[in-house]
Chains A and B, each alone.
Chain A
Amino acid sequence: DAGVTQSPTHLIKTRGQQVTLRCSPKSGHDTVSWYQQALGQGPQFIFQYYEEEERQRGNFPDRFSGHQFPNYSSELNVNALLLGDSALYLCASSFYAGEAFFGQGTRLTVV
């Protein structure tokens, strides 16, 4: 079992650019959540996808959007990047009300 896999592992972008991060959930999981972890802080919930729909959203601007595909994999898109978007982006998958399993994360640096 490969667990939750995220790509890429590291990414450097320029302010104003757009970025897409990818996540494959753990086998058997149908729900994908995205979190932003700034340096020295706990993860902050961005949104959750279930059945290809955004089921819940955290306190993030519309520049953050996502998608879930029929195979349950997911993408996180961030438009008009700001320096403050630099963070570790974590994908978590789960099944029904079970615990969330996290990927290794994508380290995004905006310069």
Chain B
Amino acid sequence: AQSVAQPEDQVNVAEGNPLTVKCTYSVSGNPYLFWYVQYPNRGLQFLLKYITGDNLVKGSYGFEAEFNKSQTSFHLKKPSALVSDSALYFCAVRDYNDYKLSFGAGTTVTVRA
């Protein structure tokens, strides 16, 4: 079985401050990890992924995430948040020998000007 937990329903930050969205996962094998962003009434937009290799992954729009195997975490980060980053963020995991993505419940990020 595979699952994802996003412990924070909401994250609020001021523009220009660092942004962190937390994610922990559970899989039986090796994880493939993903972050997606969703704007109102839209589909999911891919941000970044971890498959193997360097634990620090860089993605779109200045986002990055760090894979930590011992803590089973894959937190999303951005050094300087923008108002336009305000959206709903989903972490997802797929076991290497599985096909389905399992998503967390999502974290709503609000960046105030």
Contact = CB atoms under 8 A, between A and B. Distances in A.
Contacts of B20: none
B101 A104 contact: no
Contact of B46 (A33, A41, A58, A99): A99
A101 B103 CA distance: 14
Contacts of B51: 97
B99 A42 contact: no
A102 B46 CA distance: 8
A99 B98 CA distance: 13
A103 B88 CA distance: 16
A56 B100 contact: yes
Contact of B103 (A4, A43, A103, A105): A43
A42 B43 contact: no
Interface of A: 4, 6, 33, 35, 40-45, 48, 55-56, 58, 90, 92, 97, 99-105, 107
